[in-house]
Structure 1
Amino acid sequence: MSVTFDAEQPPDRPIDLADSEALMEFVETYEDVLVEFYTDGCGVCASMEPVLSGVARAGVVVGTINPRDDPPLVDEYEIASVPTFVRFRDGEPIDRLAEGFVPGEQLQAFAQG
């Protein structure tokens, strides 16, 4: 499944990414990206949804992905707990945050580095 993102029109909401192919396309399209690795049934992950929406509306490009849908992602990005937030720049992971619930201002500051 090919996914197309538009670098000229960054999304103003979190984008759900289906698999590693979509993740790679997403992080290579935009210069700075915040990706949440989550799992279904994770209460903290669910509580992050409105926070992520606010961060996206503030101008941060946000993607979400469930690594259980593409298991090699767990090892590739060393996902030991969820939610884990990984900051990408120019397609490469540059920072990570895995502290459970993260308030909006703190997450936005992390995403904007």
Structure 2
Amino acid sequence: MKRRKNMAKVLTSGNFEAEVLGAQKPVLVDFWATWCGPCKRQAPIVDALEEKGYLVGKVDVDQEPGLAQQYQVMSIPTLIIFKGGQEVKRLIGLHSEEQIRLVLDQI
């Protein structure tokens, strides 16, 4: 089976409210940048979580600096989990799939 690339939804200031804040289920949002080495290592982990049924979106902080500023993202990768339109958990730095799943499954 061939794996699709860049599976997670690209989030922008134009769709963030509908896709994340208005979502019925918790959403994992990956704040990243193309030049960030740890972000490149985090990407396939985030994509794997989406393959397993978690709602996932990605914010390129260079393309969407307003969202990064709004959510006070100071370093990347930063993973923020939103539930009911609110931030409920933040993971900064590179995390394993197991670490992220443990957090998601508790929310």
When normalised by structure 2's length, the TM-score is: 0.83
**Does the 8 Å CA contact 2:31/2:68 hold for their aligned counterparts?**
no
Give the root-mean-square deviation of aligned CA atoms. Answer: 1.4
Q: CA-to-partner distance for each residue in 1:34-76, whole Å, 9 max, x for gaps?
A: 0000011111111112111111122211101112212222221
- Structure 1's consecutive aligned runs of 4 or more residues displaced over 4 angstroms after TM superposition are none
- Residue type of the partner of 2:16? L
Pair 1:69 & 2:42 matched: no
Return the alpha-carbon distance in structure 1 between the equivalents of residues 54 and 10 of structure 2.
15
Match of 1:35 in 2: 29
The structural deviation recorded for 1:22 is: 1.4
Return the alpha-carbon distance in structure 2 between the equivalents of residues 41 and 71 of structure 1.
15
Match of 1:106 in 2: 99
Name the count of aligned residue pairs.
99
- Segments of structure 2 that go 5 or more residues without pairing to the other structure are 1-6
- Residue type of the partner of 1:47? R
- Residue type of the partner of 1:15? K
Identity of counterpart residues, as a percentage? 27
- Segments of structure 1 that go 5 or more residues without pairing to the other structure are 1-12
When normalised by structure 1's length, the TM-score is: 0.79
